[in-house]
Amino acid sequence: AQSVTQPDIHITVSEGASLELRCNYSYGATPYLFWYVQSPGQGLQLLLKYFSGDTLVQGIKGFEAEFKRSQSSFNLRKPSVHWSDAAEYFCAVGAGYSGGGADGLTFGKGTHLIIQP
Amino acid sequence: EAQVTQNPRYLITVTGKKLTVTCSQNMNHEYMSWYRQDPGLGLRQIYYSMNVEVTDKGDVPEGYKVSRKEKRNFPLILESPSPNQTSLYFCASSIAVGELFFGEGSRLTVL
């Protein structure tokens, strides 16, 4: 069964500093990988996705993520965070519709990002 | 504007009183899902629907029912709510693998 681990429950970063959020997955084949962001009181919004090809993917709001098959990782990065980036971030792995479920996604438990002034 | 709309956004109810949380999407998506979000547990899928009249259980379906009579609507029904169903519920729709559009959530408290 697929699984996702986000090792950091909370991360605190100073505004303007760089950010890296970790995500490790377990999946038997080439995975579909996603990062979602949840701002306070809101639903989740898709930041970026990886299906195949270039292992460095760009997303919205200046985020990027790198797929490393050898490490089973899909870490999210941003060179300079803004106070508005404070949110909960979820990594997800999917099998596609053939894997069961309308979206076939398994979510990590999330990383809460705190931005210090 | 493309959106997934859930109602109610907030609800306090009592054990055993049937309730329905509605979900509607205006993007003509075939696929819709319900999730619950609990502290420390992340998001867990309750039910999903691949198309009209096609629904199936997710990871935590106990105590819930769904129906999909129209493409745009996917209500979540709690026939006899219990306190362990106190949670934040999200409806989502998608047209492509994993690219979910989420509603803003419905916070349910069962006393």
A105: contact with B, CB 8 A cutoff? yes
With CB atoms and an 8 Å threshold, state whether B102 touches A43: yes
In one-letter notation, the amino acid at residue A69 is: R
Q: How far apart are CA A98 and CA A11, in angstroms?
A: 35
The neighbour count for residue B97, using CB atoms within 10 Å, is 20
A101: contact with B, CB 8 A cutoff? yes
Predicted pLDDT of residue A95: 64
Q: Which position has the higher pLDDT, B97 or B84?
A: B84
Residue ranges in chain A modelled with pLDDT below 50: 97-102
At A28-44, the pLDDT tens digits run 777 889 999 999 888 89
Comparing CB atoms, the residue among A36, A96, A109 nearest residue B41 is A109
In this prediction, residue B97 has a pLDDT band, given cuts at 50, 70 and 90, of: low
Question: Which residues of chain B make contact with A104, given a CB cutoff of 8 A?
Answer: 97-98
In this prediction, residue B50 has a pLDDT band, given cuts at 50, 70 and 90, of: confident
Taking all residues of chain B, what is their mean pLDDT, rounded to a whole number? 93
With CB atoms and an 8 Å threshold, state whether A41 touches B104: yes
A3: contact with B, CB 8 A cutoff? no
Q: How far apart are CA B42 and CA B13, in angstroms?
A: 23
